[in-house]
Homo-oligomer: A and B are copies of this chain.
Amino acid sequence: LPTIRDIAKRAGVSVGTVSNYLNNPELLADNTRREIQQAIEALGYFPSAAARSLKSRSTSRIGMVPLISPEDNRSMEPSDITFLDFLSAVNTTAAENGFALLLSTAISETDELPMYKRMVGERQIDGLILTGVRSHDPRVDFLLGQEFPFVAYGRTRSAEHPYVDVDGADGMRQAVDHLVALGHERIAYISPPPGLMCNEQRWEGFAAAMQSHSLPIDPNLVVDGDFLERTGQIAMHLFLDLPQPPTAVIASNDICAFGILTALQKRGLVGGRDVSVVGFDDSRMAARWTPSLTTVAQPFREIGFLVTKMLIEMIGGEPQDTQRVLKPRLIERESTSALKGP
């Protein structure tokens, strides 16, 4: 592969001039610029990323360390299509700004932080995107301590940091209001994974909304979830075995809601008619499911875009508002309906 020296030689100039062509082309005479341009094309030259970043101390890469399980039975990270929507928005936005996306994986939760430390320590990247934020998140503490640029999808309770978040409390309020308007009072709740910040936000929203309608929260109708379908199924079966089952269920995400609907079906019940079900995310399948799913929509692509744009601006040293909260939106479909009289 050709180096900057080959170009310099072929164009009859010095390496410094070629470097200028690469970084400050406006400094060059039209003439020289053309020569160099031709040499570069003739030889198919690209500047070495390693040499460039060794000198310039920047990589044009941003990083992400999703905690994806080999077995798909792990919590804390969306392993469904919503994550791909987010990821592809991040990747596209990064690419459009000349950045590539460096992905790694923590095999277990134990070596998650070490993975981040390594990526930062090795100077593999100029900035990081965080997902699956916990209410107290050691990654946030570490990155703040290093003054390393990052933007989180979601926020921590324990520190101030740049983020893009969806107002989960408001989403829950919309869900509860909707169900209450339909006449429901015994509303069950399956939470996101405990530990995640969004779990706390959603719960606050749920509890506040129930209270605002003067509805009690029955502890039997509240279950810790993990974003998995199986858990939705199991929880729904438990609910149905209760002396007084719920008439509506709010799930932590659409996948979990699908599990709930499946459980209903297995018991000969019809989701949306016998029991109302509300999901969260508005993933692609929500509209196509039978019954179609009422759900709180998160704009994943927009979040991915905003997170990445914000991060790249931070890396570029541009000042900006560093915290954004987006409103989710309830989308009413067939899986919820008016409570039938007793």
Contact = CB atoms under 8 A, between A and B. Distances in A.
Contacts of A104: 91, 94-95, 100-101
Interface string A48-68: 111101100001010000101
Contact of A48 (B91, B122, B285): B122
A92 B80 contact: no
A116 to B, nearest CB: 11
Contacts of A101: 102-104
A121 B46 contact: yes
A16 interface: no
Contacts of A301: 70
Contacts of A290: 265, 290
The size bracket of the interface on A is: 35 or more
B103 A91 contact: yes
Contacts of A66: 88, 91
The quantity of this chain's copies bound in the complex is 2
A273 B218 CA distance: 43
Given A117-B44, A288-B262, A123 B79 contact: no
Contacts of A284: 80
Contacts of A318: none
Contacts of A95: 104-107
Interface string A93-130: 01110001111111100000000011101111000000
A305 to B, nearest CB: 9
Contacts of A206: none
Residue among A92, A122, A229, A262 with most chain B CB within 10 A:
A122
22 contacts: A44-B121, A46-B122, A47-B122, A48-B123, A49-B123, A49-B124, A50-B50, A50-B51, A68-B91, A68-B92, A70-B92, A79-B84, A80-B84, A81-B81, A81-B84, A83-B84, A84-B84, A84-B87, A88-B105, A94-B104, A229-B288, A285-B285
Closest 8 A/B residue pairs (Cβ): A46-B121, A50-B54, A49-B122, A95-B105, A50-B53, A68-B88, A101-B103, A84-B84
